Each structure stands twice: as structure tokens, then as C-alpha cells.
Structure 1
Amino acid sequence: MTVHTLDLHFQNTPGLIAAYLVESQGELALIETGPGSTLPTLCQAISNLGFRLESVRHVLVTHIHLDHAGAAGWWAQQGAQVYCHTNAARHLIDPSRLVESARMVYGDAMDRLWGEMLPAPAEKVTILKDGESLVIGDQQIVACDTPGHARHHLAFIVGSACFTGDVAGLRLKQSGYLSVTAAPPQFDPPAYLASLNRLLAGHFDRLFLTHFGEITDVQKHLLHYQGRVEQVHQNVRQWVQQGLTEDQLREKYEDTERTLATSVGLSEEAWRLHEMANSTQMCADGVRLFVEKNS
């Protein structure tokens, strides 16, 4: 098996969003599609490897957030079979509600950031339940239900490797700063920690993060990330109890994360990239919503 890391150059910036092309005995599977805005870059990257786009017959998405699955409908319309979580299928078939919600958040920047999300023909969408799999060449790709970041989240296991989507966090350029992916509305710390325990029990040799790239210090990374998920949850719970307003909480979250990032050597430019990939204000909202619902 060969894994090709495809940098989608989101917002013309390298190292923010990856897609992965898995090659086995002449067959191809694409894991993650990125947003519609980076589809030309994705297609060019596949062509640059010497593959025809029509050879990509299997497309797997970890969850339906636009940075992971925004271009899935396009692939389905080209004839590829798209595989996803049970709760994601309806949004791939009819993405109108998803797009409408995103447009309320991003406003005029919506099209520039995310591009178009096309509907996938229903017959081209296949649901994978926990433990179900498909075969590519001589490799079995197994779905692993991993809620916490989102309730409709799958990780994909291929041999001793795991493609983690957002459930193993965000780590850019192998930095020492590990950012918690906590965008609203489905951040759930107990589910998150349980999912991370499942990944720890898998004893994988490699993780492939959508944001961004290959991780080989797997156990260390996952244990560190468990601590980070607990940390942001406890921080926000404390701030809510103190009566901070939404704006004050966002500011406090950003300041706290920035201080942590600086303490492990993150530069100002590297911090800007993390904010592009995983906005602290959005994450603050995600953690706060969980705290408020569970107080």
C-alpha cells in the first residue's frame, strides 16, 4: 500500500488541509475531498501523480464539515462511490441545510472559502457502520465510529495506519502545539475521550491527520490530545461559571491558547496558520455550547 498526501493549498496556503490517495494493487481510494474551493488543486495533484481522475472509484469522508467533504458530491457525480457515516449520508445527498448554516456563519466569505457543495446522487452514497469495511486492492479499509468532534465522524483504519479526520486534533508542521478541533455544535468531551481510547487501543504505527499530515509518535500524540481535550473543556467550564460573556469567553480562549502555543515555540506566522485552519473563536463557541447544555 502506498499513501499519497495531497496538499490542497487551502486559501493558497500549504499545510492546512490534506486529502489522502491510497493506492493498492492498481486500485485507488481517496480519503477526504477537501472543500469545493480546492477541487481544482486536488484534481491536479492526482493527475500529477500519473493517475486518471476516473480511476478514483472510491471516496471516503470522515465527516461532512466543508473542509473535509465539501467536494464529495462532485466525485459522486463523476461516478465514484462515496462512503460515510450513517448520519452524514442525508447531508451529502441534499447539502442545502448544511450550506445554508455555513453561509450564516461565513457570510460573504462563504464562496471564496468553501466553494460549491454539489449534491451526491443517492445511489452513489454508501453508509459504513462501525466495523464495516471495503476492499481496495489487497487492503481492507475499516470504518471506526469516532464521535466527539462530531456525532457523524468516522476514522478509517488501513492495516496499521489510521486516517483520523478531526478526532485526533490539529497539528501543523509537526509543531509542539496541538489544537483541539471543537467547532460547534457537536463537541462532546466524554465521547471524544472514548474515541481517543479506541484509537489508543488500536496501537497504530501511523496516523494521518487531515490537518495536517503523518504522525508517527502515535501513542504520545493521542495521550497528549486527550489531555488537551480535557483542558479546554475544564477551562471553558470554569469561565462559564465565572459568568464571562460570549465575547469575553472567546477572547479568553484565544489568549489562553495563544499563550500555550507561544510557550512551545510557535511563531506569529505559525499561529496565524492555526487560526486559519481552526479558529479559536469558533472552538470557544463549540466548547461553551457543550458546557451550557450540560451544566
Structure 2
Amino acid sequence: MQWKELERTARQIRLRDLEAVYAAGAGHIGGEMSAIDILTALYFHVLKIYPDDAKHPDRDRFVLSKGHTACALYVTLAKRGFFPEDEISTFLQPHSRLNGHPNCNKVPGVETNTGPLGHGLPVAIGIATAGKLSSAAYHTYVMTGDGEMQEGSNWEAIMAASQFQLNNLTLIIDHNRFQQGAALADTNNVAPLRPKLEAFGWEVTEINGNDMAEIVPALQHRGARPHCIVAHTNKGHGISFMQDRVDWHHKVPNKEQYELAVAELSEAL
């Protein structure tokens, strides 16, 4: 029943994300849908956070390195109480603080500005290193896309995390097999990811990243080394005609598609 409630929350977040992208006429809905189950598990079960005191020093840290999926993070943060849920309707509107990429200077709960791919993991390693140096109890999580793992800065950061034994760090790779314009396998195929991370001295867990029963235990794991979760997900998860379709990386549904998607997500609630 614990997982059922988280699954229901994830469906609610998917529906609100869909509504926001449709209303704004822009967004990155495919990668948002693949990541929402993990975001839900983090913010509604795993993270030690304080929505009324977003910068509480004891909070766990989460960095969304794949910053183009900001809308999913905004909806999750709002639902968790960091800011009013009705503000989601301002997504991408003039003067809104809910921009296309997260801004830590404007949005409560956002740890660092992200967007340029390959930056979030190095920043998260800095955060985790600071925690080690200050003997802080917080844990640092960071989510990247699998296409993003083609960036060399990530592999430099992975080496550093192993060197400094950052067992207070969890990397989540949203392995949905697609990136902008093509499948991962047709661009620069970094899969399989597990042996590469293990070769750099990381502990690696592979899971179904759209299954709460696998997501939550993986996120809660603590070991002696930095931990990577290779989360096998589906781009566009939860909406039948979007799932595993590369064109839904940043495509916006038309009215008919929107109504169909709303019906599918609402039926599951």
C-alpha cells in the first residue's frame, strides 16, 4: 500500500505536468514522464527536506542535472509544499520564476541552476565533498539523463567521486534510451553503463526506474562507495502514444492528443 500511494502521487504529478506543458506550448514532456516516478519517491518518501525552510542546513540535497525537465521538478516541489500549486499555471509565462530551467535564486527547493548538460554531477560532487569536509549528515542525490552521460565532464566527476570516497553521493541515471532527435544507440552509445561506473570504483544498482518497489530501496541504499542507480525508464511513461517515441522529447501535444493523454492519466487515478 505504501508504494500504491506513491504511484498515485506520481500519476497526479504527471497529469499536472501535462497540463502545464500544454498550456505553455513548450516543454520537455518525454523526459519529464520518464523521471517523475523517481522524483516522487525522492520528495515524498526518501529525502530529508523542510518545505517551510528550503535552505535548512540539515536537508538532503537533490540536483536535477537534466534541467530541461524543470516542469516535472516544479510540479513535484509545489505538491510537496515548497510554493503554491496554483503557481504552476505561470510556467514559462513572462516574469514567471518558473523558467525552462531551474533557478536556485528564484525557486524554493532548487539547489543549483542547471541546464547545460554535464554540469549537475560535478556540482553535486562539490556539494557532497563539502558535506564530507564539514562532517554533515546530509546525503546528495543528482539525476542525469543517459544522453547527458556522453559529456566528458561527467566522467571526470565520476573519477573524482571515487577518489574522494563520496559514499554520501547517489547518482541516478534516467536511462530512457532516447535523447534529443535520436535514440542513444544511434548517437554515442554509452550503454551498458554499469560496467563503466564499476570500472571507476562506484557501486552500481540497476532498477526499473518506473517501479516504486525497486526505486525506493535503491534510493535508500547506503554503502562504502559512491552509488549509481541505472534507472531503466520509458520516455513518455504513462501516456501510450508518447512512450518510447523520440519525437516527444520536446514536442507539445495538440488538443486531440492532450485530451487523450488526460483521459489515460485520469483513468489511472
Question: TM-score band (shorter)?
Answer: 0.3 to 0.5
Q: Name the structure where strand makes up a greater proportion of residues.
A: 1
- For the pair shown, the structure with the greater C-alpha radius of gyration is 1
TM-score (normalizing by structure 2): 0.38
Determine which structure has greater relative contact order: mean sequence separation of CA pairs < 8 Å that are 6+ residues apart, divided by chain length: 2
TM-score (normalizing by structure 1): 0.36
